[in-house]
Amino acid sequence: MGDRLVVPTGRIARLAADLQVVARELEGSDGTAGALAAACGHDRLAREIEESARCWQRRREDVVAGVVNLADACDGIAIAFTDADVHLAQAV
């Protein structure tokens, strides 16, 4: 084992940015269930489509919150290691 710790802060920061994009995409994907339900021409199927959309909406909100939390954590990790590296370099 070496005596070096290598933390790819650039990759972690990019991951945070990518996760933020995923969260925005999920937030903006309210879907077209209403239009699909209206166009299907079958009342029972339309109700099922709308109910499925409502369930997915609730689940999607949970997923978005989790992705945002993960993005924030990755961002914080990248910043913390970068700051620690700067402070350690200044101390040398």
Residue 92 counted as domain residue = no
- Predicted local distance difference test score (pLDDT) of residue 1: 56
| Measured CA distances, 76 to 8, 19, 73 (Å) | 13, 13, 5
Residue 3 counted as domain residue = no
Residue 30 counted as domain residue = yes
Q: What is the pLDDT of residues 33-86, one digit of tens each?
A: 778 888 888 899 989 988 888 888 888 899 999 999 999 999 999 999 999 999
Q: Rounded to an integer, what distance in angstroms lies between the CA atom of residue 40 and that of residue 13?
A: 44
Considering only 2-6, 13-17, 24-28, which range has the smallest mean pLDDT?
A: 2-6
Question: How sure is the predictor about 92, in pLDDT bands with cuts at 50, 70 and 90?
Answer: confident
Closest C-alpha to 66, from 6, 22, 36? 22
Look at the chain and report how many structural domains it folds into. Answer: 1
Residue 1 counted as domain residue = no
| Residue 28: count of CB within 10 angstroms of its CB | 7
Domain that holds residue 39: 9-86
- Predicted local distance difference test score (pLDDT) of residue 27: 85
Taking a C-beta distance cutoff of 8 angstroms, is the pair 66, 88 a contact?
no
Check whether 25 has a pLDDT greater than 70: yes
Q: Is the pTM of this model over 0.85?
A: no
Residue 73 counted as domain residue = yes
